[in-house]
Structure 1
Amino acid sequence: MSVLSGMENSAGVVLRRAVELDNNGRFQESLVCYQEGIDLLLQVLKGTKDDAKKTHYRQKLRSYMDRAEQIKHHVVKEKEEGKYHKQIKIVENSTGYSYENLFKPYVDETLTEVWVEDPYIRHTHQLYNFLRFCEMLIKGPSRIKKINLLTSRDEQENGKDQQMCILQEIQISLLDYGVILEFSFSPSIHDREIRFNNGWLIKIGRGLDYFKKPQSRFSIGSCDYDLRPCYETSVDIFHNNHTRKT
């Protein structure tokens, strides 16, 4: 398969996903896929010599670009009116819901600070979840400078020490990337939510801990969270210019 054919196939996969998300009302996610697919298809167009194919690609591009622009205006209008709300139902044992896939549409260059409120960032696998979430933020395109975590203390004495040590390790590691981590504990915290200072508010029924335990350390999905089966949960996404705490 030539490089051009491979790129064309990739564009097709991404754009089909964009249409699927669009049809399901997941507009913010579909917009990201439309933009990615359009970029790929533009590269295919540039490398194509056949005039008939060029005409076909231009027609496809015009259609996708028009739809992407419509979605963009729709999302902007809802955000300005404070009416944006989307719910994602994660079905039991479903895959494809890594932090990167779930949060990517809301992580942009205007994002500099994040607040995570989750009572269950205390056991080892939950701390790994939080670490992966931090890695997702650092990869960009955000310019993250500060992450705030509010969670509960482990109830076991040994667990308390381990929880504190791991959080301090993450804190030190984040400093290498110019990111400050501040964490605090509350014995009464119950709700789970993540707030971005670019206006996005995400509430996940199970917090960051919605992945099932892999069958073994060397089973598929152990490393790649996109391949990890999930527990059933709901994700509610809002946009509000005043979600940031003062």
Structure 2
Amino acid sequence: MTQNLAAGMETSAISVLKRAVELDHGGRFQESLVCYQEGIQLLMDVLKAVKDDSKRGHFREKIKGYMDRAEQIKVHVNQLKEDGKYHEQIRISEDATGYSYEALFKPYMSGLLTEVWVQDPYIRHTHQLYNFLRFCEMLLKASCKVKTIHLLTSQDEADNRQQGDALAELTESLSALGLTLDLQYSSTIHDREIRFDNGWIIKIGRGLDYFKRPKGRFSIGYCDYDLRQCQETNVDIFHTKHTKIL
């Protein structure tokens, strides 16, 4: 590993760990834990490349400090889960970016995740159907092994043909990849929430539809949701030892 590459990794580690500390101070413990773990791994890779003993000692000290804090957070989070008291809130401000589905859900998608329940009455119009498609794609790309996705939504009373055709096509596409989409309709649901069978519950005020319409098909953010501006909304995260079926 060249010196320049090691320096670049150190810069990346500093950036990730700075974000970890910010999340930690903001009470977003599960997210901070993921960042601490990523940052620590980067620092360990840098340590392997450094030959100077004084620098190696400096990095070992830093790694130990971050590892100790990560372990404290893990114990704290596990205790909150055990007591059924885990709750954190993410406030997405108007025009904020960096809140793609991958960024938002990654901290809660452990390798134990196999089943997902989505309750969202507004998976009807074209952009909403694409949102759900992107959510499914995000699950497919994750390290977990999701086998079943349950969707409870409402039918488009004005024109349910497009909605029905789109969800039928998605069901077939997922099936070809070994995933089952269990689709159900309700005319009375209003609340929006997503449940993972590893115990996490994510409630988004606007459901999956918290992104603003892009200015054009060739505008930044049209394809990459991390660059897409958001509408203001709150995200509440809870944990339960017994995930109930919606």
2:6 to 4, 7, 10: 4
Contact 1:14–1:33 (CA<8 Å) still a contact in 2?
yes
Q: CA deviation at 1:74?
A: 0.3
The CA deviation at 1:195 is 0.7
Query: 1 CA distance for matches of 2:226 and 2:39?
Result: 20
Encode CA deviations 1:56-97: one digit per residue, 9 max, x unaligned.
111110110000000000000000110001111111111111
State how 1:45-194 maps to structure 2 within 5 Å: 45-157=47-159, 160-194=160-194
SS of structure 2 residue aligned to 1:231: coil
Partner residue in 2 for 1:236? 236
Q: What is the CA–CA distance in structure 2 between the aligned matches of 1:3 and 1:179, rounded to whole Å? A: 40
Tell me which amino acid in the other structure corresponds to 1:186: S
**Whole-Å separation in 1 of the counterparts to 2:89 and 2:243:** 18
Instruction: Verify the 8 A CA contact 1:196 1:244 in the aligned structure 2.
Output: no
Structure 2: gaps (5+ residues): none
Equivalent residues, number? 244
- The one-letter code sitting in structure 1 at the alignment partner of 2:180 is I
Distance 1:140 1:99 in 2: 11
For 2:162 and 2:225, locate their aligned partners in 1 and report how far apart those are by CA, in whole Å: 24
Q: What is the identity, as a one-letter code, of the residue corresponding to 2:14?
A: G
Contact 1:212/1:230 (8 A) holds in 2 = yes
Q: For the aligned residues, what is the CA RMSD?
A: 1.2
Q: What is the DSSP-based 3-state SS (H/G/I as helix, E as strand, rest coil) of the residue aligned with 1:194?
A: strand
Aligned residue among 26, 29, 36 for 2:28: 26
TM-score (norm 2): 0.96
Query: How high is the sequence identity, in percent, across the aligned residues?
Result: 65
Q: Distance in 1 between matches of 2:162 and 2:113?
A: 30
**Structure 1, unaligned runs of 5 or more:** none
Q: Which residue of 2 aligns with 1:198?
A: 198
Q: Distance in 2 between matches of 1:228 and 1:214?
A: 7
Find the residue that maps to 1:2 and give its secondary structure: helix
Deviation at 1:176, TM superposition (A): 2.7
CA contact (8 A) 1:21 1:27 kept: yes
Instruction: Report the CA distance between 1:242 and its aligned residue.
Output: 1.8
CA–CA distance in structure 1, aligned partners of residues 85 and 189 of structure 2: 27
Distance 1:120 1:2 in 2: 49
TM-score, L = length of structure 1: 0.96
Q: Which amino acid aligns with 1:184?
A: Q
